[in-house]
Amino acid sequence: QDLELGTVTDIITGYGFGEESDIYLLDGSFDTLVWPTGVLPDPDALYHGAVRKVERTTVSKTKKGKAGKKSSKKQKGETASSGYQFQNDGPLLEISLDEFGEVHPAKMDIGPDGLLYFTGGTDSRAYRVDKDGNAEMFVEIIDGAGFTLGCQFDDEGNYYMVNGRGVYMVTGDDINDKSLPLPIVPELFFEWPEALAIPMSIDVDNNSGMAYVSDMGNGNIWIIDTESGVGEKWVSSSEPGYELLFGEADSTNFLGVPFGVVEVMVDKNSDWLYFSNHELNYFGRVKILADGSPGELQVLDTVLNRAALNGAFLDTRNNKLYGATPFLNFHNGVAREPVATRGGEIWMIDLNDIDENGEGGKAELVAQDLELGTVTDIITGYGFGEESDIYLLDGSFDTLVWPTGVLPDPDAPYHGAVRKVKRTKVLKGN
């Protein structure tokens, strides 16, 4: 389902022409035709007659129940039983190489001022964009190290950013001070006491004042007191019971370092720390005990087709957990088959289905469109646009020459963007 396919008037497989598994379509552009009755269905649409091609990306076999009928029992990772479905609504912002250079958007948050803020990944900068797609670079770290990735606002309007040197902060007062020249240089709020492999995401628990930061390369999670600035390692994949925070042990990805726990998100009651695992392709959570220490790790569900789960968003208002897929088979990189390819997927779990033991959750594929790009982060539109919409960062990480020298897709043009998808269908009564 993709409106870019147009008014599809005919369909055929590729047998005898191309790949048999592909499908070819005729787009008749019949919404731009003045029909014999004088009716013009869509006066605002441009002519779009075309022959189009779609590729088969997933094949799942049907599970049979008693008497040979299709079972209503859903398998892990099965799609769309909740009735949620999202459609590509185009870019909010296509990043201009002439204006900003090659930005690889990594993580985002919506500020109290109603703007969407995101980090530039490889460039030690942060940007902000309004609902009309007007963007500016507003922060630059001049003494950091490595990629600048995770970012998050606390409830006082302070903006935190994570890179290889530590956690940086821009105060809410500085963000609101329009007299300050841009870019603002943030302060180093917390410096890592030891080398982290890939400090990735940050989430501030406004109930406790604690910030949680993931170290994706080592499979660790740190905790930092935002009042005192004191921090320590909270939980590690080297400890019994937490091994699944690590990535694929024999990973041959583009960076040569296993990618484990990525996004970390505290629920509204500070009971659970939810997370996504990039290469093991699952949603999970760790219990936050009464004294603040970590409890049991639970795997909620694993997604299909080795879809990497990079960015994730915990929608505490509607009790949904979303994940974004930049690549399929990321753990293979270009060294093994099947090689990593662009993902362009959104996954969702309804947390109302999950019991205290972590059972009952099902990851559903709610959007799949290669035009969404290498999706690195995801957030609902609450506080920015329509709450039912979803905003995505397309990091264009398939066009990046990684530090190892790997260029995943030499033929792809740069496509860094902030994108939007709209919810198109909700079925009641599930």
- Tens digit of each residue's pLDDT (9 = 90 or more) over 127-160: 999 999 999 999 999 998 889 999 999 999 999 9
Edge to edge, the sheet with strand 341-350 lists 312-315, 320-328, 341-350, 364-368
- pLDDT tier for residue 55 given thresholds of 50, 70 and 90: confident
pLDDT at 1: 86
Do residues 163 and 145 touch, judged by C-beta distance below 8 A?
A: yes
pLDDT at 82: 65
Do residues 89 and 368 touch, judged by C-beta distance below 8 A?
A: no
Structure tokens at 140: 């630059």
Find the mean pLDDT for residues 221-229. Answer: 97
Above 70 in pLDDT, residue 66?
A: no
Task: Report DSSP state, residue 243.
Answer: G
pLDDT at 39: 86
What are 287's strand-pairing partners? 272
Average pLDDT, the chain: 91
- pLDDT tier for residue 44 given thresholds of 50, 70 and 90: confident
| Residue/partner pairs of 352-355 with CB below 8 Å, 24 or more apart | 352/319, 354/300
Name the one residue in this structure whose structure tokens are 């009464």: 290
- Tens digit of each residue's pLDDT (9 = 90 or more) over 339-354: 999 999 999 999 999 9
- pLDDT tier for residue 395 given thresholds of 50, 70 and 90: very high
pLDDT at 284: 98
pLDDT at 85: 84
* Closest to 29 measured CA to CA, from 49, 46, 43: 49
Do residues 212 and 201 touch, judged by C-beta distance below 8 A?
A: no
R_g over Cα of the chain = 22
What are 161's strand-pairing partners? 151, 168
When mean pLDDT is compared across 42-46, 232-236, 308-312, the lowest value belongs to: 42-46
Find the mean pLDDT for residues 65-72. Answer: 32
Phi and psi angles of residue 331, each rounded to the nearest 5 degrees, phi first: -60, -25
- Tens digit of each residue's pLDDT (9 = 90 or more) over 80-99: 556 678 889 889 999 999 99
